[in-house]
Amino acid sequence: MRVLYDYDFVKAPGETLDYTRYWSDWLIGDETISTSTWVVPTGLTNALATHDDTAVTIKLSGGLANHAYVVTNTITTSQGRTSVRSWLFTIKER
């Protein structure tokens, strides 16, 4: 059985990169993102997390080569709706 994630990424252990998810296709009318929280497993480092009205961004570093990590983002909107998305990060030497 394969678990489907919102996004699948491959990154190198030494990379520090920004990853963004745009929510505008899910938001209704003038609804905006009010809060965004992240769960980042041990081994990856959340260097910075931000959001604006329609997108969330996380800057991640680290990770052990040949390991996979699931990072989870939860948003709450101005309409009181909540959504959770998980991203899979596979760490590989480049």
- What DSSP letter does each residue of 17-36 carry, written as one string? EEEEEE-TTTS-TT--EEEE
Banded model confidence at residue 94, pLDDT cuts 50, 70, 90 = confident
Residue 51 structure tokens: 């959001």
- pTM, two decimals, is 0.90
Q: Average pLDDT in the 61-85 region?
A: 96
Q: What is the pLDDT of residue 1?
A: 45
Domain residue spans of the chain: 7-91
pLDDT in tens, 1-40: 455 577 789 999 999 999 999 999 999 999 999 999 999 9
End-to-end CA distance of the chain: 28
Domain 7-91 has CATH 2.60.40.2310: yes
Q: Average pLDDT in the 70-89 region?
A: 96
